[in-house]
Amino acid sequence: MKNVLVLDASMRKGYTGALAQEAAKRLSTSYNVETVCLRDENIETCKGCCLCLSEGSGRCPLREDGARAILQKMTAAQGIVFLVPNYSLQIPGKLKTLLDRLAYVFHRPRLFHTVFMPLTVQGVYGGKDINKYLNKVFRFWGARTVKGTVLPGGIYPKDIGEKLFTAKNTGKLDKALREFDREMAAVKPKKPSLFQVAVFRSTRSAMRYFDDTLKPDKEYYRKNGWYEAAYYYPVRLNLLKKTVGYLIDRQMKAAAKKAKANQKAAAS
Ligand SMILES: Cc1cc2nc3c(=O)[nH]c(=O)nc-3n(C[C@H](O)[C@H](O)[C@H](O)COP(=O)(O)O)c2cc1C
């Protein structure tokens, strides 16, 4: 059975938690499900030192808290479902803190073939953009994303609104979970967009040809064999994506050669 991680990102045992439980119950008929409640985790605020980027995640001064363990759970899962309350048109601060703490994953993506789906719980307005934001983050981290849905009506005290909220949202939850199942069952590697190919090729060529890129990133790209790869993982690219990739590589190589010549001239 595939593993699915459900993250309840609410700061109270509220509507988000109720739906996380409901989602976990439904998912557990097909998957091994683990639920993490973010409010129970110790995630310290990022100090902004950038050591995870410049020296490696093992040098983070906060490395002993819960952030790394959550990333390990995410990488061990084949599917991830986030249930997120809308706080002031955005994700709760603690979830943003977790994303900040894992910012090095933007530099060293890893969740290839992992399916990610956000479900935003809210009162009335703003959840669509939250789902879009989370999907964008997880696409940068490598995941195959499912649009997810917004589950509204969480404005009343939970004891008054719970029945109405659940009745209103069960159908939407089921529909989203069916989309998640479909993506989990997909066997072909996900075709990247032109933008994703461009990001990969410009980053990997920078790692390959420029000396002054961040060392942990350079090493990560080298270890993964990405200096020679067409994309992060084997996948067929159409002619346009192949051509754009080739042109980006060539341009980056030329730019690095020029930069080295300029440095040499300045030093002599
Ligand atoms: C700090 C805070 C900010 C909120 N901001 C919004 C908002 O911008 N839009 C919205 O529709 N609901 C907003 N809400 C309502 C929550 O999204 C809603 O009550 C949701 O059910 C919270 O999840 P919970 O029940 O798990 O606590 C806010 C709630 C809180 C606590």
Nearest CA to ligand 1 atom 3: 87
Beta-bridged to residue 33, according to DSSP, are 4
**Which atom number of ligand 1 is nearest to the Cα of residue 17?**
26
Q: Which residues have a Cβ under 8 Å from the Cβ of 243 and sit 6 or more positions away?
A: none
Please report the pLDDT score of residue 166 as a whole number: 83
Mutational pocket test of ligand 1: of 11, 122, 173, the residue with most ligand atoms within 8 Å of the beta carbon: 122
Please report the pLDDT score of residue 159 as a whole number: 81
Please report the pLDDT score of residue 83 as a whole number: 98
* Residue 114 Cα to ligand 1 middle (Å): 28
* Residue 121 Cα to ligand 1 middle (Å): 7
**Which atom number of ligand 1 is nearest to the Cα of residue 126?**
9
Q: Taking the alpha carbons of 48, 50, 52, 53 in that order, is the dihedral positive or negative?
A: positive
Pocket of ligand 1 (CB under 6 A): 10, 12, 14-17, 85-89, 121-126, 154-155
Give helix 215-223 / helix 194-209 axis angle, nearest 10°.
Answer: 110
Mutational pocket test of ligand 1: of 21, 86, 88, 164, the residue with most ligand atoms within 8 Å of the beta carbon: 86
**CA–CA distance, 255 with 261 (Å, rounded to integer):** 10
Please report the pLDDT score of residue 157 as a whole number: 83
Q: Which residues have a Cβ under 8 Å from the Cβ of 42 and sit 6 or more positions away?
A: 65, 66
Please report the pLDDT score of residue 256 as a whole number: 95
For the beta carbon of residue 186, count every other beta carbon within 10 angstroms: 11
Which burial class, exposed, middle or buried, applies to 262 when counting CB atoms under 10 A from its CB (0-12, 13-18, 19+)? exposed
What letters, b where the CB count within 10 A reaches 16 and e where it falls short, cover 148-160?
Answer: bbbbbbbeeeeee
**CA–CA distance, 21 with 151 (Å, rounded to integer):** 14
Per residue of the chain (268 residues), what is the pLDDT tens digit?
999 999 999 999 999 999 999 999 999 999 999 999 999 999 999 999 999 999 999 999 999 999 999 999 999 999 999 999 999 999 999 999 999 999 999 999 999 999 999 999 999 999 999 999 999 999 999 999 999 999 999 988 888 878 888 888 999 999 999 999 999 999 999 999 999 999 999 999 999 999 999 999 999 999 999 999 999 999 999 999 999 999 999 999 999 999 999 999 999 8
> Hey, what's the torsion of the CAs at 115, 116, 121, 125, to 10 degrees?
-120
For the beta carbon of residue 181, count every other beta carbon within 10 angstroms: 16
- Show the DSSP H helices in 79-193 as ranges: 93-101, 104-107, 127-140, 158-185
**CA–CA distance, 220 with 229 (Å, rounded to integer):** 13
Superfamily covering domain 3-185: Flavodoxin domain (3.40.50.360)
Domain ranges of the chain: 3-185, 194-267
Tokens of 180: 């998640």
The structure's pTM equals 0.96
* Residue 26 Cα to ligand 1 middle (Å): 24
> At 88, is the secondary structure helix, strand, or coil?
coil
**Which atom number of ligand 1 is nearest to the Cα of residue 153?**
21
- Number of H-type helices and E-type strands within the chain: 10, 6
**CA–CA distance, 45 with 94 (Å, rounded to integer):** 8
Please report the pLDDT score of residue 139 as a whole number: 97
**CA–CA distance, 65 with 197 (Å, rounded to integer):** 34
Please report the pLDDT score of residue 85 as a whole number: 98
